[in-house]
Structure 1
Amino acid sequence: MKFINYFNKLKEIKNVLIYLLSNILVGVLPLALMPFYTKYLSPSEYGTIALFQMLYIVFRSLSGMSYITATERNYFKKEFNNSRYCSASLQLTLISLFFILLILMLTGDSIAIFIGLNIDIINKSAIVGCCCVIVQLRLNQWQVRKYAYKYGALQVLLALLNNLIGLYLIVEMSQGVEGRVDSILYAYLIFSLFSLCSLYNDRVLIFKPNLKLNIERKSILNFALPLLPHVIGVFFITVFDRFILGLNLGLESVGFYMVAFQLMSALGMVSDAFNKFFSPVQMRLLEQGSEESLQKLAKYIYVWVAFILSSALILVVIFNFYIENFLSAQYIESKSILPWLAMGHCFNALYLVFINSIYFSNQNSTLSKSTVIVMLLHISIFYFMTKFYGIEGAGISFCVSMGLRLLFTFYISNKKVKLPWFIFTFERKL
């Protein structure tokens, strides 16, 4: 029995290392190519690409990321028909894309004028957003089955194709912003088609005429719709700030911010890798609900806090050196906001842990209310801080907003799932 437990622990460690390594490779690739991107793209062009990425993140959320979360949440429940649930999720995603494209067809010109991007880029961002959801469905199904190798391979190959096409179109074909946008579109189209074929071969998706999935669709929507304000709020907190920055300081400042943010997203990659490993573990421990399992969960979180804070400090030093020595001199201003972005990403790493407990307790409406409050605070803080303190104000407001979101999420999580946070004190007394 002890040997089996030891073997299972080794397997879990191996999986987290695979997730971590694949996330590091995905994060390192654009960083390694950044000197080329910054050489051939001006800060204002970099800012335009940042707005495109902002848009496809929005459309990814609206197309159905919460549907995918619903399938993951229910996977470990008894009498759960995974293939019907995933098929219903895909149907809802495609329906969502249809309505998004319809709205863009009717109001696209007005949106393009407001945002400052042409309608072609906006339409491409909607398609990329839907493709992201399909790829994520494939990844999530591998994640819950603990197929870490397949998960990591798909992530790395997608990032590799994305950046290699981008490099070719920008450097060799001199297509600038259009080349970078098209490289993202082509990569996600290819891998979304692969994901659909793979899901069908694994019998995760059902393609049958007159397939009735009303019960599954209703169940998914009951989970996803209360999350919609939260999804919109997360968008305003994490990416809408680039739009405000463009309004206040211009696209050049968006480019500076984007370079710093992309560098510090390496910390986000680490936290995302940990969460991919830890989320199923956390759900199992919460499902057990015993005192021992909750104590173990609290200890894991303490270790994670120490690790992410020390990682942030190291990365700030490394990326300061990187900007000074490897990037074009016109991007030197990006250095000023690295520490603030690092701290904000630390807060976000802890937020991901606590939000899992909220998903487990199905308190999505409460989460949405808190996210809307933080969203309103973030927009106000970001607007005035960038207005009076420039790009450094952008970094400070990101850090403050992530801290507020963490506090709200921790409060809700601790109210619904009480963990023994003073476990170490308790053990010393014993």
Structure 2
Amino acid sequence: MIPKSAEPVVEHLLRDLAPQVLAAVARRHGDFSAAEDAVQEALIAAAAQWPAGGVPANPRGWLYHVALRKITDHLRSEMARRRREDAVATQVWAEWAFVPPPDVEVGVQEDDSLALLFMCCHPALTPPSAIALTLRAVGGLTTAQIARAFLVPEATMAQRISRAKLSIKASDVPFEVPGAGERAARLSAVLHVLYLIFNEGYASSTGAQLQRTDLANEAIRLARMLRELLPHDGEVAGLLALMLLTDARRHARTGASGELIPLDEQDRSLWDRGQIAEGVALVSGALAAGSVGPYAIQAAISAVHDEAASADETDWPQIHALYLVLERMSDNPMVSLNRAIAAAMVQGPHAGLELIRALDDDPRLRGHYRLDAVRAHLLERAGDAAGAMAHYRAAAERTASAPERDYLTLKAAHLAAAQADADPGT
């Protein structure tokens, strides 16, 4: 049992180290599923031993050592079960005889997390399966969190991840760091993985906290590494810019009690101007070089928000025009939903509500709290308090994020209170 005082430190350390160790073990062993199981057992052992005995001087080397020993144990058990001949057994175990001591980091490198990203985006997998597998291995997201990111049921996502592991094992393509040519083919999936990891960190889909800074920071760290690897790729620059411009608002997004503060009510003096300047420079360079991909466009939208001195000074016509470009690039209902908000800010709430009606039949958004939340916001702006209250409450019931639920519930309560004040006889 981990002492409560030690839990946060150990859990954070293990989350950071897990993908690095998994990459090294998978690269050496070649079987992702076996490596993942072994690393999980090593993490469990560390969680049980480190709080009481102390974190070793080289925790990555400790985990790598234990994971390899776990694989060795599993192989020995399997070989015994199959009763292989002694000569074959001796030959196999000789290969595994040398296990580095816990304070030596043989096979574990600083860039193993980034390597694992490319390794998980395996050619045997469809892009959605590769992304889901990588979110589990590198991002540390739960199956439920990944399912919400993909707008699919949790059971569907669990099956997808399971099939992804089986596909890798059944393929003849080795589970290893790809060469330059193969990296280029896998880059789109890698970028999408980083995008989803950051989104889950910036606005956690579940739990009591609005933000998971560990995930957001990890996504930014990996994006910086990817930028160093591919300095001339406009979409890599665009994605890093998007992360920085969005994360710059982190400290203004929550109040003293962790409550959500919407963009138009945030104290902009709390925004990180250094991150904003870096993000603006990155996206400006990407667009000037002619790279007009979806991440660069989203970064440009964030830059318009961040450069506005106040909410009233936001250049909504430019944001709406950028969303129109983005909508033509991708079939993503969330982009259309955000365009509806921008259209409402330019043309009035009824224009936004009209655009939202076209999304009601999209199965990817059916039952999603964001559709109700945006409709409630626009109905409130249009003066329909009763309709806004109903949709705020519906959105609150559908979100799994406690801060978002509290915010939406409070919005409905404020409208109810205002309605009661206006009509005391009700």
Shorter-chain TM band: under 0.3
Q: TM-score with structure 2 length normalisation?
A: 0.26
The structure showing larger relative contact order (alpha-carbon pairs under 8 Å, at least 6 residues apart) is 1
**Structure holding more helix per residue:** 1
TM-score (norm 1): 0.26
